[in-house]
Amino acid sequence: MLVIHTIAELHVHLRGVTGIVLVPTMGNLHQGHLDLVRIARQYGQFVVVSIFVNPLQFGMNEDYSKYPRTLEQDCKMLEQCGADVVFAPSERDLYPQPQQVTVELPPIANELCGAFRPGHFRGAATVVLKLFNIVQPRIAVFGKKDYQQLYLMRQMTAQLNLPVEIIGSETVRASDGLALSSRNQYLNVAERTEAVFLYQNLVGIRLAIMDGATDFFKLERQAMEVLSARGWRVDYVAIRSQSNLAEPTACECNLVILAAAWLGKTRLIDNLEVLRDR
C-alpha cells in the first residue's frame, strides 16, 4: 500500500490505472470506515482511500482544530484491509489559494444538519468534487450514517454529470446499537452509556410507524421531548422521504428518520430507514 501526500505524486502513481474506487474520509478510522473499504473492494480492483480533515466543512465554533488526526494508525488499519493507495494531502496542496469556487447544492442542504451547520455540506461537496477530479474514480463509497451527505453527493454527481457511481454503505453499529463515529471518542463513560438512546429512540419511532402511526409531527416532537428530558440538546428529529429528504406525502412508503443531538459537548447524528406498508 502506498501512502501519497501530494497531487503530483498521486497522478504519477495512478497513471494508466482504471476502475478506481474512492473512499473519501477524514481519517481517525474505525470499523465503519473499514467496512467502506471492504465494500469498495467488492466494486473494484484498485481502492484509493483519501484522508483529509477538510477545513471548508467546519464552522467557526466547530471541532476542526481538535478533530483527531491519526494518520499512522489509520494507515496500519488500511494496509490490513487491503487498500491500494492512501491519499493524505496537505491543506496547502488541496487549497493552494482560498477556495472561492464552491459547489452550490439544492436547498435541502440548508435543512436538517445544514440548518445547524451552515455551509457544512457546501464544504463537504466542494472537497469531494476536488477529490473526484484529482483521483478520477469510477465509483465512490459513502456511509449511510451521513445520510444527508450521501443524498447530496448523489445529487451533485447526477446534476453535474460526474462520471462517478455513488455507493451507499450501511451504518456500522457498536454491539449496543450506537452508530460508529470518530466523535464517539469525545464521550465520557456516562455519556457513552446514554449515547445509545439516540438509536433506541429512532427504533421506537420506526416501530410506531410500522404499527400505523401517521402523525409524524407528533412522533418527532415526542422524541425530542424524551431526549431533552434525559439531558440531550436536540438539534432535530425528522421523518423524511428517502427519495428527496423532503417531508413525506401521505402515500410515501420509503421513509427515513434522521436525528442530531448533543450529549455534553459532542454532537451525534443517526438515522434509520423505514419501509412502511401502504
Pick from 274, 53, 22: which is nearest to 140 by CA? 22
d(CA 239, CA 258): 6
Does position 128 interact with ligand PAF (CB under 6 A)? The reply is: yes
Residue 29 phi/psi, 5° resolution? -70, 145
Q: Which of 5, 11, 13, 33 is catalytic?
A: 33
Does position 194 interact with ligand PAF (CB under 6 A)? The reply is: no
User: Would you state the torsion angle of the CA atoms of residues 238, 210, 150, 233, taken in this order, to the nearest 10 degrees?
Assistant: 30
d(CA 72, CA 148): 30
Query: Is 169 annotated as belonging to a binding site?
Result: no
Does position 21 interact with ligand PAF (CB under 6 A)? The reply is: no
- Catalytic residue list contains 11: no
Does position 89 interact with ligand PAF (CB under 6 A)? The reply is: no
Q: How many residues bind ligand PAF (CB under 6 A)?
A: 10
Only one residue has cell 484529482, namely 134
Q: Please name the helix (run of DSSP H) or strand (run of DSSP E) that holds residue 244, with its range, or none.
A: none
d(CA 150, CA 243): 12
Query: Is 26 annotated as belonging to a binding site?
Result: yes
d(CA 240, CA 228): 21
Does position 124 interact with ligand PAF (CB under 6 A)? The reply is: yes
**Which range binds ligand PAF by CB under 6 A, 6-14, 21-29, 58-66, 164-172?**
21-29
Does position 169 interact with ligand PAF (CB under 6 A)? The reply is: no
Does position 26 interact with ligand PAF (CB under 6 A)? The reply is: yes
The amino acid at residue 184 is N
Q: Which of 28, 54, 171, 201 binds ligand PAF (CB under 6 A)?
A: 54
Instruction: Output 116 or 222, the one with its CB closest to ligand PAF.
Output: 116
Q: Which of 4, 14, 21, 24 binds ligand PAF (CB under 6 A)?
A: 24
State the nearest-atom distance from the C-beta of 182 to ligand PAF, in Å: 8
Residue 269 phi/psi, 5° resolution? -125, 155
Q: Which of 74, 84, 111, 146 binds ligand PAF (CB under 6 A)?
A: 146
Does position 179 interact with ligand PAF (CB under 6 A)? The reply is: no
d(CA 55, CA 48): 21
Does position 25 interact with ligand PAF (CB under 6 A)? The reply is: yes
Contact indicator for 156, 124 with CB cutoff of 8 Å? no
Pick from 1, 3, 2, 49: which is nearest to 26 by CA? 49
Cα-to-chain-centroid distance, residue 49: 15
Query: Is 11 annotated as belonging to a binding site?
Result: no
Does position 148 interact with ligand PAF (CB under 6 A)? The reply is: no
**Known catalytic residues?**
33
| Residues at the contact surface with ligand PAF, assessed by CB under 6 A | 24-26, 54, 57, 124, 127-128, 146, 149
Which residues are part of a known binding site?
Answer: 26-33, 57, 143-146, 149, 172, 180-183
